[in-house]
Amino acid sequence: MLPDGTTLTDDTARLRAAVDFVREHDTATLLPLLLPGLRGPELESLAPHCRFAHAGLLLFPTDPQDLRRRLADCGLAVDTPSQPSVVVRERLARRHRRDLAELDVRILRPRVEGPAGERRAVEVFALAVPPHSDLGALAAHERARGHEAHLALELEHPDPLVLRGLCAVLARHGARPDGGGYNPHEDGTVLYFITPAAGACGYRRLELYTPGDHRDALDDHLRAAPQEHPDASRPAETLLRLLTGAWTTQALAAFARLGLPDAMDPHAATSTGELARRTATRPENLGTLLRYLTMLDVVAEHAEDAEDTAGEESFRLTRLGALLRADSPDTMRPLALMYAGPFYRSFAALDHTVRTGQPGFDHLFGENHFDHFARDPELADLFDRSMAASSRMFEPLPAHPVITAAARTSTPRTVVDVAGGNGELLGRILTAHPGLRGTLLERPHAVEAARRALDSAGCGARCDYRSGDFADVPHGGDVYVLSRILHDWDDDRCREILRHCARAMPAHADLLVIERLLPADGSPSLATAWDLHMMCNVGGRERRAEHYARLLADAGLELLDRTPLPLEAYVLHARKAR
C-alpha cells in the first residue's frame, strides 16, 4: 500500500515501491512517519541508536524464473542467494490453515543503497504460485492485506537498556507489541510491533532487531502482546464451546468405533436409516451424532439426495471424515481410539500432575504408560498404530539432504532408527532408497511387529533388528534417527539418550531428530497442546529449538539446521561437535 492508500496488487509494482522507499528514507525521516508525534529532542536522541535496515514484502511468482525477472525489472541482483523462511511459512500456515509442506517460502535480501549510499536491503519472501494453483486465493488475500509487509530497524549496539528504552518510546507513541523471537542460528532477538494507523508511510508492521540473546526483554514484549480471542466479546459462549471439547473427542471416536466412516460414501449421500442398518445402530440416535459431526465438517448433510426415504436425513463422508476409515492408507483411526481411550482417561488427573509433577497416567493406572502398554498386546498394538497414524509428517523425510547423500554413496550406508516403533519411518526411507540398509532398535514385542511390517513392504531383507533399550544403540551406523522420542522424557534422560547415540556414532555420522517445536513467540501451535499431553501422560515435554540445541551440546553434538515437516513437526540435523 502506498502512503496515499493505493493498494498495489501487481508483484513487480509492489517490489518497485519497496525499493524506492528504501532508497529514499533514512532513520530520522522514517521514525516520524511510523510514529506521528515523535519529534524534537526525543527523535534526536532515539535516531542515533538504530538504523533503517530493510523493507520486507511477500511476493507470489509463478516460478523461480518469474521471480528473477521481477528482480531484474526493479534493478535488483537476480543471483541473490535464498534460504527457507521458517517464520513467514509458519505464519501463513496458521493464518490460512494450510499444511507447512504446501508452503515453500524462500527468503532473499537483494542489496539496495540508501540516500547517502548506506547498505540496506529489500527483504523478499517468495512463495511460488503456479497458474491455476489452489494457493491462488491465499496469494490474493495476502496481496490485498499485506500482512508480511514491514520495515526493519536494527540497534547499532546490543545494549539491553537501549532496547528497553526504545520499546518504551515505541509504546508511548502508539506502537503495539505483535510477537517476536530469538534466533539461535543468528544469535539475534527480533521484536515485532504494529504501528499506529495514523502513520504516513503505508507500512504498519515494524521489526526491531538486535544482536544477542535478550530473552528478558523478549519475554516482557511477548507478555504485552494482545491475546484477544476472536469471540472475546462473548466470553460465556466462548468458554462453553471450550468446555464441550471433550464431547468432540468422544464423538469422533464413537464415529470410528461404530464403523461409520467405512459404511459411508464420500461421493454420494446415504440415508440415516440405511447407515443405521449397516452399523447396527438406532436411526434416531445416529442422526443426533451425525448432525453434531456435521458441525465439525466430518460429514455433510444432503437431504435432497434421499427422495425415496420420505424426507429422511442423509449424509456423505467428507475428506476430513475419510481420515477415520480403517482402510485408508493415511488413516488416523488409531489416534481417535487412543485419544478417546487411555489418554482421555488420564487427562481427568491433569490437576494431579500440575500439583505433584507426577504424570496423570501413572496416577490413574498405577504404572507408566510404556509398561502398561507392554503388558497388554492389544493396547500396545493400538499405540504403535496410533504413532504410525501420524506418518504424514514423515513424507518429506526420505528427500532430506542427509538421507539422499547417504543413498548416493558407492558403498551401502545404514540408517539406524532408534526406538523405531513398527518400522513405519524406516520403511519409507528404505522404500525410497533401495541402496540403503536399515537397523531398527526397539522393545521385543515391537521388533516383531516391525519385522512383519518391513517384510510386507519388501524391505525386510535389508534390515537388521535389535531388541533393547537406549543403552543398546548400535555402533557404526551412518544416519541415526530419533523420531518423537525425546519429548517423552525430562532433560536428564534426554541427555542420556543423546549421549548413547553420540557414543555409537562414527565421526562422519548424522543424527536426525524429529519433534514438534514450541514457537518462540508464543503463537498458537500443535506443539503447545502436545506439551500438555506429554506432561500429563508420560512426564515429558515439548521444547523450543534452542532448548534442543543445548541438550545436543551437552551430549557433544551440534545442531546444524532444522527443516519443517507436515503436522507442524521439524527435523533437527545434528553431528558430533568439532
Rounded CA-CA distance 199/358 in Å is: 52
Rounded CA-CA distance 153/22 in Å is: 12
81: left (phi over 0), alpha (psi -120 to 50) or beta: beta
SS3 of 362-408: the string is HHHHCCCHHHHHHCCHHHHHHHHHHHHCCHHHHCCHHHCHHHHHHHC
**Length of the chain in terms of residues written:** 578
Q: Round to the nearest angstrom and report the end-to-end CA distance of the chain.
A: 49
Rounded CA-CA distance 232/181 in Å is: 26
Query: Which of helix, strand or coil describes residue 180?
Result: strand
How many beta carbons lie within 10 A of that of residue 261, not counting itself?
Answer: 24
Q: What are the angstrom distances between the C-alpha of 420 and each of 187, 385, 562?
A: 34, 12, 21
What the block records as the C-alpha cell of 566 is 507436515
Q: What are the angstrom distances between the C-alpha of 62 and each of 100, 227, 356, 558?
A: 19, 35, 55, 37
Contacts of 434 (CB under 8 A, 6+ apart): 462
Rounded CA-CA distance 181/550 in Å is: 17
Judge residue 551's burial from the number of C-beta atoms within 10 Å of its C-beta, 0-12 exposed, 13-18 middle, 19 or more buried.
Answer: buried
How many beta carbons lie within 10 A of that of residue 129, not counting itself?
Answer: 20
Q: Which of 189, 149, 193, 162 is nearest to 56 (CA)?
A: 149
The answer to whether residue 487 is catalytic is yes
Q: Which of 221, 400, 433, 487 is catalytic?
A: 487
Rounded CA-CA distance 337/567 in Å is: 19
SS3 of 222-262: the string is HHHCCCCCCCCCCHHHHHHHHHCHHHHHHHHHHHHHCCHHH
Contact between residue 180 and residue 222 where contact means Cβ atoms under 8 Å apart: yes
Query: Which of helix, strand or coil describes residue 182?
Result: strand
Tell me the residue ranges of DSSP E strands in 259-301: 270-271, 299-301
Q: What is the dihedral of CA 154, 157, 160, 164, to 10 degrees?
A: -40
Contacts of 529 (CB under 8 A, 6+ apart): none
**Positions marked catalytic:** 487
